Structure 1
Amino acid sequence: MDHDQNFKNLIVDYPKQALEFFAADEVCPLDDTVKITPVRQEQLKNRLGDRFRELDVPLLVEWPNGHREALLFAVEEHTDPRRFSIHRIAHYCLDLAEMFDTRRVVPVVIFLNQNQCPGELRIGGDRVDYLEFRYLACHLKQRIAEDYRQSDNIIARLNLP
């Protein structure tokens, strides 16, 4: 089993802790009533011959008490910044939004190494940007391990030096 698969398994096995660590700005705190469900990784194709897109770990977060509307998280892990494509991440999010008929999709990109990847994508004409896309970035190498040494979050403890 390769590193990427181990990383995906860790997120699927501990989704609450993963979101609290990688996407804290969007989800914290998550209480024990929240329901987190991994959704299909392979996105549906429009035509049989089309290439399929496969997400690392898409997670559906639901609050049974109705405290918040459900959120979809498109969690992507990147080891090699040269292979990163903000366009591909935007496609994933648009596919999820269409599949679940929602606008509540949060792209989370976990960078294992230092990088200079674009943080946003703007598509438009001379006067107006018609599509703007950003993602929540988690740069593991920029996190301070000491801040998490006493944490009860297993994801934080396993992912920092």
Structure 2
Amino acid sequence: MSHDQNFKNLILDYPREALEFFAADEAAKIDASARILPLRQEQLKERLGDRFHELDVPLLVEWPDDKREALLFILEEESDPRRFSIHRLAHYCLHLAEMLNTERVVPVVIFLRDGAVPDRLELGGDRHTYLSFRYLACHLPRLDWQEYRDSQNLTARLNLPNMHYAPERRVEVYAHAVRGLFELEPDPEKQIKYIDFIDIYTALEPDELERYCQEYSEDVQKMSSFAKRHLEQGRQEGMQQGMQQGEARILLRQMERKFGKVSVEVRQRINQADESTLLEWSERILTANSPEEVLH
């Protein structure tokens, strides 16, 4: 699993929401007129080399008519705090500031797991400090999920599973994350994309998925209705194959969450089924006790 890529996708798909959530202190002054642009990774790799290629997602915030000087945000996701190097981050920020000829740089580190990390770097001698560096830190496990459970910021809602919560509330956390996705993201393709994100970071056990289906049956029905609308839209647009694949992915994910890893034969049947059959099986999984009951 590539946590780096998951968060890069999230930040690139929702740059404004990401800055408002991960870098709230600095993002407060980014008004609606500002344009947020990702810097091209190819250009950075060519200019700075491979050693920084997986470090960051740089976002350049520009204002029209030079109302304000552009501001560069550098966002890094760190899965394991033990791997975090403040020296490497400082080195990268200095290189990028020189390359873009700017001193307006905001480094942001998103910690996916909790742990002790240095919060500043100071270089100097006995009498003076000659370089002082710090960064904005977003420690996801230290955030109380209940403070964000009804947030209108989609990035926050998608990250509910990465926040602090009691294990017995995992199903509730999952439900609020999924509900936020379907309330705040109208694009069906991104809905499918980020239901995977929620699944990965919630990692419901089969019994928890069953509880979700029982306790949040209305939401499950909405998801089924969404799948049906998505398939109908795809059919109208000549995208039947792509929509069938999307529905098959959803069903396979539900099957594996509820019953564990499915057999090759079950996977083949699902991948080869047509849209109407997949919809029927998606409804049947709510009450079935085995993969065979779903596909009979």
* Structure-2 residue corresponding to 1:52: 51
Q: Which amino acid aligns with 1:159?
A: N
Helix, strand or coil at the partner of 1:52: helix
1:123–1:6 CA distance, 2 compared to 1 (3 A): same
The two structures, once aligned, show a CA RMSD in angstroms of 1.6
Give the superposition deviation at 1:151: 1.4
* Structure-2 residue corresponding to 1:111: 111
Helix, strand or coil at the partner of 2:51: coil
Give the superposition deviation at 1:67: 4.0
The residue correspondences of 1:40-119 to structure 2 (distance < 5 A) are 40-41=40-41, 42-43=44-45, 44-45=47-48, 52-54=51-53, 55-64=55-64, 66-119=66-119
Q: Is the 8 A contact 2:78 2:109 kept in 1?
A: yes
2:107 and 2:3 mapped to 1: Cα distance?
21
Q: How many matched pairs?
A: 157
* Structure-2 residue corresponding to 1:12: 12
1:115 and 1:65 mapped to 2: Cα distance?
43
Helix, strand or coil at the partner of 1:5: helix
1:25 and 1:77 mapped to 2: Cα distance?
18
Radius of gyration: which is bigger? 2
1:105 and 1:82 mapped to 2: Cα distance?
24
Q: Structure 1 residue 136 and structure 2 residue 132: aligned?
A: no
In structure 2, stretches of 5+ residues that fail to align are: 162-296
Q: Is the 8 A contact 2:3 2:79 kept in 1?
A: no
1:108 and 1:12 mapped to 2: Cα distance?
15
1:51 and 1:145 mapped to 2: Cα distance?
36
Question: For structure 1, which segment, 80-89 or 22-31, has the greater mean C-alpha deviation from structure 2 after superposition?
Answer: 22-31
| Structure with higher helix content | 2
1:111 and 1:52 mapped to 2: Cα distance?
20
* Structure-1 residue corresponding to 2:158: 158
* Structure-1 residue corresponding to 2:261: none
Helix, strand or coil at the partner of 1:94: helix
Helix, strand or coil at the partner of 2:115: coil
Helix, strand or coil at the partner of 2:74: strand
Give the superposition deviation at 1:31: 2.7
* Structure-2 residue corresponding to 1:37: 37
Q: Is the 8 A contact 1:20 1:29 kept in 2?
A: no
Q: Is the 8 A contact 1:77 1:112 kept in 2?
A: yes
* Structure-1 residue corresponding to 2:2: 2
2:29 and 2:150 mapped to 1: Cα distance?
18
1:136 and 1:6 mapped to 2: Cα distance?
20
Give the superposition deviation at 1:109: 0.5
CA deviation string 1:114-139 (max 9, x = no partner): 11110000111111110000000001
1:17 and 1:87 mapped to 2: Cα distance?
28
Give the superposition deviation at 1:65: 5.0
1:107 and 1:81 mapped to 2: Cα distance?
16
Give the superposition deviation at 1:160: 1.7
Q: Is the 8 A contact 2:149 2:160 kept in 1?
A: no
CA deviation string 1:89-126 (max 9, x = no partner): 00111011101101000000001111111000011111
1:2 and 1:114 mapped to 2: Cα distance?
18
Q: Which amino acid aligns with 1:88?
A: R
Q: Structure 1 residue 149 and structure 2 residue 152: aligned?
A: no
